Structure 1
Amino acid sequence: MVAAVSVLSAFCLGLILYCLRLRATVKELGLNRKLKRNETTFTDSQMMNVAHQAGVAELNEGILKNIYHILNTINVSSSVVSEKVDRMETKSLGKLMRLVKEHENDLANFFEKDERGKKVPGALLQYAEYFGNAYESLVNEIQELTSMIQKLNQIVKAQQAYANVESRLDKVELASLVRDAVAMESRLLDEHRIDVQFELDNEARIKAPKIKLLQVIVTLIRNGCETMVMHNPAGPWVMSAKVSMSSDKVTLQVGDARALEHAEVVNPLASPSDSTTLTRRHFSLYYCANAIQEMHGAFLIFCEAPGHGALMRLEFPNAHAE
């Protein structure tokens, strides 16, 4: 089992490195905002193509990192279980039980008068404690192992659900898509100890290409994580994932809800270049903004500031109203 997990881990690491090289190549093709300042012009279609490639590479890289991280955890847990079983002291217990067996016809006299027999009850009590602790420790490791396998299954199932989805308009259940995106980014959220607070209207539907919208939501989750940790390093970190619906529109909010109170609000497509949110992550958010615009939606960013991260708000026409 350990060997198989190690092989899978190595395979995932290779795929991650491939995605990193792919993303680096994409950046070389144009993901440098200084080109815009130097009057090198990209057409909207070129910018979208480059950003789309970056988005796909980033999404795949994130999924593979999640899988690789979980496989490593499974590998460690299985090794710990194996080592604990190997170290369990069973030989002495076997000797003790053979000694008792030798005196099975005269146990009362053996326990009462033989110095070795007098020590047997105490020794058995010690063994009971020892094996009780060992059992508890192994159960904890196995539960951790089971949890990691379940999480791995969630990520793989979420990815498989969108692997062969064509770029066509579907009536999308937004709440379900948000849950899948969070599952795909579980490694990043766990790594930074960020809790996700869901407030999802399960009836909300929009018309959108599923895979493209999934890429957008994953990107927003990553941006939210980055800004929360950067601007509130002491924590606690709680990411809001809210889907709400009115008669004519559906709204999705992802990020730090505290940004709603006193943050600068910017439009990613018409934002000044000194926006802190956009300077570092211009192209990923540019891709998101254009993708949302193609879906006839609106995209606003409540910028990060000292003490809180950014919050991204998307608004779409309500598919129920059409």
Structure 2
Amino acid sequence: RNRELEQLVAERTGEIRRQEVALREVSRRAGMAEVATGVLHNVGNVFNGVNVSVSTIGGMVRRSKALDVQRAVGLLRDHLGDLPGFLTTDERGRQLPGYLIRATDQLVKEREGLLGELENVDSGISHVTQIISAQQSLAGAGGVEEEIDLGALIDETLRLHTQGWAAEGIAVEVEREPLPPVLLDRPQFVQIFVNLLTNARNAVLHPEAADRRILVRLGAVGEPPQARIQVLDTGVGIAPEHLVSIFNYGFTMRPNGRGFGLHSAANASRQMGGALRVESPGLGQGATFTLEIPLTSSTNGKRPK
């Protein structure tokens, strides 16, 4: 009987562990999806501008004076045998020089307009290439720790993932202190940071948000030293009873939320040897998410124990 119970307990324990592994993987992928969603949003914004330019180019070509000039040149071609007489005695011929002068001026303007729109298209395509290249650089190979300039990585992530936020009325500010290199998994950190940024954006876009300001603060605290990254928002805030559940799997305060992002970020922070916590005075008073991760040792490039 005892052996049967031991076997049953072992089976249940194994099943729970498998479910935990699966849950962590779902959360990890959800966090990666947040990053990818941000990139696709930025690419989509650029392509909206490209589509406008392409539509403008199409309209300019359809309205072009080129076909009218072609017809005017056809008249000249038809009267090559008596061109002086055609230009002086025929009503169409007398009007033709003035028309060609005006049409030529119009064609020059069309050319300038087309070149301007083509430059917009070229710039848009280059921008998309830069976005993809930057994301590939940020992503890198997961599971590999490297010494990172955390300030530079935060700047690059902000540049890539906050494009278009100003148009939404969101102001993003950065405060920082100089830090030594940090030994971390680059994609894992980017996943955490993007999830915190996305959460802050959703909070300040809430109809009940007091303001639309986000502050990213970078510094060092404690002994042994920790890198502290804070994302503060002036958004809708968090009720006291929700603070204990904010990092739980599936917990969300948004109608269309899935409750994956912050849970994934909390898991990833623990895997990095760090911690993620949240503070909020209450509803309507914003929130502060704080990530603390060990700094590298200046002597051996390893995490402090």
Unaligned runs of 5+ in 2: 1-15, 299-303
Matches within 5 A, 1:92-241: 92-96=68-72, 123=99, 126-127=102-103, 130-131=106-107, 133-186=109-162, 189=165, 192=168, 194-199=170-175, 203-231=179-207, 237-241=212-216
Structure 1 residues 135 and 305: CA distance shift in structure 2, 3 A: farther
User: Among residues 238, 258, 269, which one is paired with 1:292 in the alignment?
Assistant: 269
Q: Which residue of 1 aligns with 2:293?
A: 316
Question: How many residues end up aligned between the 2 structures?
Answer: 273
Structure 1 residues 98 and 285: CA distance shift in structure 2, 3 A: same
**Residue-by-residue CA offset, 1:107-149 (whole Å, 9 max, x unaligned):** 9xx79x9876775676466446634553454344234323321
SS of the equivalent of 1:240 reads: strand
8 Å CA contact retained: 1:267, 1:300: no
Paired letter, 2:120: E
Structure 1 residues 164 and 298: CA distance shift in structure 2, 3 A: closer
Matches within 5 A, 1:220-299: 220-231=196-207, 237-245=212-220, 248-256=225-233, 258=234, 271-273=243-245, 279-280=253-254, 282-299=259-276
8 Å CA contact retained: 1:204, 1:244: no
Structure 1 residues 128 and 195: CA distance shift in structure 2, 3 A: farther
8 Å CA contact retained: 1:243, 1:252: yes
8 Å CA contact retained: 1:52, 1:287: yes
SS of the equivalent of 2:205 reads: helix
For the residues of structure 2 that align with 1:249 and 1:178, how far apart are their CA atoms?
Answer: 16
SS of the equivalent of 1:319 reads: coil
TM-score of the aligned structures, taking structure 1 as reference length: 0.61
SS of the equivalent of 1:230 reads: coil
For the residues of structure 2 that align with 1:245 and 1:295, how far apart are their CA atoms?
Answer: 16
Structure 1 residues 163 and 316: CA distance shift in structure 2, 3 A: closer
Q: Which residue of 2 aligns with 1:16?
A: none
Q: Percent identity?
A: 23
User: Which has the larger Rg?
Assistant: 2
Structure 1 residues 118 and 62: CA distance shift in structure 2, 3 A: same
Q: CA deviation at 1:213?
A: 0.9
8 Å CA contact retained: 1:228, 1:310: no
SS of the equivalent of 2:165 reads: helix
Q: CA deviation at 1:222?
A: 1.2
TM-score of the aligned structures, taking structure 2 as reference length: 0.64
For the residues of structure 2 that align with 1:274 and 1:299, how far apart are their CA atoms?
Answer: 11
Paired letter, 2:218: V
For the residues of structure 1 that align with 2:214 and 2:64, how far apart are their CA atoms?
Answer: 43
For the residues of structure 2 that align with 1:126 and 1:242, how far apart are their CA atoms?
Answer: 60
For the residues of structure 1 that align with 2:189 and 2:241, how far apart are their CA atoms?
Answer: 18
For the residues of structure 1 that align with 2:149 and 2:156, how far apart are their CA atoms?
Answer: 11
Moved more, 220-229 or 68-77: 68-77
SS of the equivalent of 1:178 reads: helix
Q: CA deviation at 1:239?
A: 3.7
Q: CA deviation at 1:89?
A: 1.3
Q: CA deviation at 1:80?
A: 3.6
SS of the equivalent of 1:314 reads: strand
Q: CA deviation at 1:224?
A: 1.4
Moved more, 220-229 or 128-137: 128-137
Q: CA deviation at 1:219?
A: 0.9
For the residues of structure 2 that align with 1:125 and 1:313, how far apart are their CA atoms?
Answer: 68
**Residue-by-residue CA offset, 1:198-235 (whole Å, 9 max, x unaligned):** 45567553222111111111111211111111146797
Paired letter, 1:254: V
Q: CA deviation at 1:152?
A: 1.2
8 Å CA contact retained: 1:231, 1:309: no
For the residues of structure 2 that align with 1:193 and 1:286, how far apart are their CA atoms?
Answer: 28
